[in-house]
Copies of this chain bind each other. A is one copy, B any other.
Amino acid sequence: MTGWIKSPADIYAQSFATIRAEAALGRVPADLTDLAIRVVHACGMTDIVAHLAWSEGGGQAGRAALVAGKPILVDAEMVAHGIIRRNLPAANSVICTLGEVSAVEARDAATTRSALAVDKWLPHLDGAVVAIGNAPTAVFRLLELVAAGAPRPALVLGFAVGFVGAVESKDALIASGLPHVALTGRRGGSAMAAAAVNALARGLE
């Protein structure tokens, strides 16, 4: 097993160079270029850039929220554990409320744990950065709450994944008027959502 590259700096540099060479980054605005690169890096797929959607100024809004010390609300522990804490500009809180909701509570409320956990974001939602990397039902519930008058987050990173509701939830997010960056289609995941946060926090460093 000789010849494998062991230098973390070299690995990052070669990775980002490959992504810049292969990914169609020309369509991505300046405030989201690093985000697009980091999301591609997290999943190994350069073609996803063509499927990213965003609202104008989304990257700047997310960055400003982090600098202002706003919390990061995530739908899954995997997202929380993908965020590089030391890179956050204001030692921002990373809040995952999923563990506060039991399966029995969700059953009694006739919804998913992920959706019910979003209700517990309410005290933290105003101006926050939301990163959803798993559950379409978390996206749907967030949109319901905001439509009903809940505080608006500064940015919603929509990377819900899968075969039931992922496409529709992200399309609904894009149509909602909320500031967003989203990957349309079935693809998504915790690693992409965390990578998006990491890019807003510190670019490619």
Residues of A whose CB lies within 8 Å of any CB of B are: 1, 4-8, 10-11, 14-15, 18-19, 41-45, 76-78, 80-82, 106, 110-113, 115, 136-137, 140, 143-144, 147, 161-166, 168-169, 172, 185-191, 194
Q: In the assembled complex, which residues on chain B have CB atoms less than 8 Å from the CB atom of A44?
A: 161-163, 166, 185-189
A144 to B1 Cα, complex, angstroms:
6
Rounded to whole angstroms, the CA-CA distance of A110 and B191 in the bound complex is 26
Residue among A18, A161, A191 with the highest chain B CB neighbour number at 10 A = A191
A112 with B164: CB separation less than 8 A: no
7 new A-B contacts at CB < 8 Å, known A15-B164, A45-B187: A7-B110, A15-B163, A41-B163, A45-B186, A76-B81, A78-B81, A190-B191
Number of copies of this kind of chain in the complex: 2
Chain B residue nearest to A191 in the complex (CB) = B189
Asked if A5 and B164 sit within 8 Å, CB to CB, the answer is yes
Closest to A22 in B: B163
Q: Are B6 and A43 in contact (CB under 8 A)?
A: no
What chain B residues lie within 8 Å of A169 (beta carbons)?
4
Q: Of residues A42, A169, A190, which shows the largest number of chain B Cβ atoms within 10 Å of its Cβ?
A: A190
Residues of B within 8 A of A4 (CB): 136-137, 140, 165, 168-169
B163 touches A18 (CB 8 A): yes
Which residues of the partner chain B approach A188 to less than 8 Å between Cβ atoms?
Answer: 44
Distance of A160 from chain B, by nearest CB (Å): 9
